[in-house]
A = this chain, B = another copy of it.
Amino acid sequence: MKKTCKYYWEDFTVGSVRDHGGMVLSQEDILRFAREFDPQPFHVDETAASESIFGGLIASGWHTCALAMRMMCDAYLLESASLGSPGVDSIKWLKPVRPGDTLRLRTTVLEARPLESKPNIGLIRSQWQVYNQQDECVMEMQGYGMFRRRPEA
């Protein structure tokens, strides 16, 4: 892996906040994801959804996670020395995501430390917040990413 990346571990400064996005979610997108992965009535059946506590179709929470991931990829991850993630500390699904919503992502770097066992790799703990077109935060996550450190010149 001799590729040069735009972002290495050193580029994720603690406290930095970046806004990215947005993307529009169609009803067809919601149905397609939910039919494959989360076919609960309020995700796949308009009539059942309208009679549910949600009052209409809503996206699977995992779909919102996957869309946040896509926005991360497009915003910085594909240009970074990303080495994947060991996990997530919390996900809060705060508001329903509905057909036609436009989602955007805000990332905040919470913590950065080198791995003790692998000094050329660093860990970043981030907060990811997904907002809709009414500026309501629909999902909030905190989790980890591993990145190679910037090679010495």
Q: A60-B69, A70-B37 are in contact. Are A93 and B87 (CB under 8 A)?
A: yes
Q: How far is the CA of A87 from the CA of B143 in the complex (A)?
A: 14
A contacts with B, residue count (CB < 8 A)? 37
Residue from B39, B61, B84, B88 in contact with A42 in the complex, judged by beta carbons closer than 8 Å: B84
B38 near A69: Cβ-Cβ < 8 Å: yes
Query: Quick one: closest B residue to A41, CB to CB?
Result: B78
- Could you tell me the distance in whole angstroms from the C-beta of A42 to the nearest C-beta in chain B? 7
Copies of this chain, whole number: 2
Q: A1-B52, A62-B65, A65-B62 are in contact. Are A38 and B70 (CB under 8 A)?
A: yes
Would you call the interface of chain A mostly helix, strand, loop, or mixed?
mixed
A residues lining the B interface (CB < 8 Å) = 1, 33, 36-40, 42, 51-54, 58, 60-62, 65-67, 69-70, 73, 77-78, 82-93, 143
Q: A65-B62, A86-B92, A90-B88 are in contact. Are A40 and B1 (CB under 8 A)?
A: no
Q: How far is the CA of A64 from the CA of B50 in the complex (A)?
A: 29
